[in-house]
Amino acid sequence: MDPSSRTRNPLTVYAPASIGNMSVGFDALGLALAPMDGTLLGDLVRLEETVAGDDWKLELEGAFASALPQDQEENIVISCCRAFQAEAARRGQEVRPLKVVLNKCLPIGSGLGSSASSIVAALEALNRWHDNLLNMHDIFKMMAQMEGAISGEVHLDNVAPCLYGGLRLCPPGSQQEYALPWPGAWRAVVCWPGTKLVTREARAVLPDEIPRKTAVRHGAQFAQFVHALHSGNTALAAECVVDHIAEPYRRKLLPGFDEARVELKEIGALAVGISGSGPTIFALVDDFEVAAKTEAWLDQHYRKTDQGFVHICRADLAGARIID
């Protein structure tokens, strides 16, 4: 049966937030996040049937909906709908327009993969609604293309963990991604201060080239990190979570970051870094007491507004998924 011709109940897909780069893996490493308290830290897209003949209809909900363009044609979710519809038509399948409700739970420009979350939730919902019309490779490729349209470059360090979950290695220039083991005791304490930093602006401060010594050091440390995870050497892996590529230039865009790194290391954090382009920062911990103290320090000293937040997170191993 043509899936576009039958009556369907509403369908909702959740796509988690993610840490891009993870310090050691610039543009190539990402971690999906799941707050320990059960908070849904990610966007949701709900699809509902609409009157035959209508165009796509977008409704916005959620704490950060007001920051989105009010013209639906400027919203990346509608762009995803039209791209999916066009690809289906190319394959000889009809996709009728639907009512699309975006629950925007992630702040824009936070460094938590906000655009990737919306894109993944939208395209995964559309694909599920249409009985997985696209295989995982093709839907992943479309998600990457839509993310590239937002950020100006195709890099998968938010899209891959958001879709598949866990810690993902995503070589730049490739459509491939690989799961890496995540130490079960590790927690990421993330803090969004409540301010915005546009990804394009954060990338603009980076140099076009880096010194050879820096490149060699970065490559060796990244390789050592991957080896340490696969061999179960969590202490060595934690030592490798250092950013030689972006942090030296982006730290000046994040007031309070340098102090946070010093203070959180003294508290007992294994590593402290910038999530994506910032301004969110993260601290890796492997002890509950250290996690609680880290959360408290960030809430008091790094969070700047009432909208800001701090979460103690585990790795979200499920990735994008249908929820009730």
pLDDT digits (tens, 9 = 90+) for 44-61: 999 999 877 789 999 999
Which CATH architecture fits 3-180+318-323? 2-Layer Sandwich (3.30)
Where in the chain are all domains bearing CATH 3.30.70.890? Answer: 187-313
pLDDT digits (tens, 9 = 90+) for 190-230: 999 999 887 777 888 999 999 999 999 999 999 999 999 99
pLDDT digits (tens, 9 = 90+) for 258-272: 999 999 999 999 999
Q: What is the CATH code for 187-313?
A: 3.30.70.890
Tell how far CA 215 is from the center of its chain. 25
pTM: 0.94
Please return the burial class of 57, using the count of CB atoms within 10 Å of its CB with bins 0-12, 13-18 and 19+.
Answer: middle
Where in the chain are all domains bearing CATH 3.30.230.10? Answer: 3-180+318-323
Average of per-residue pLDDT across 150-154:
76
Distances (CA, A) of 232 to 36, 181, 258: 23, 9, 30
Residue-averaged pLDDT of the chain: 94
d(CA 112, CA 60): 20
d(CA 124, CA 126): 5
Could you tell me the two tokens for 129? Answer: 């609604």
- Decide: 149 and 199 in contact? Cβ < 8 Å: no
Please return the burial class of 161, using the count of CB atoms within 10 Å of its CB with bins 0-12, 13-18 and 19+.
Answer: buried
- Decide: 200 and 314 in contact? Cβ < 8 Å: no
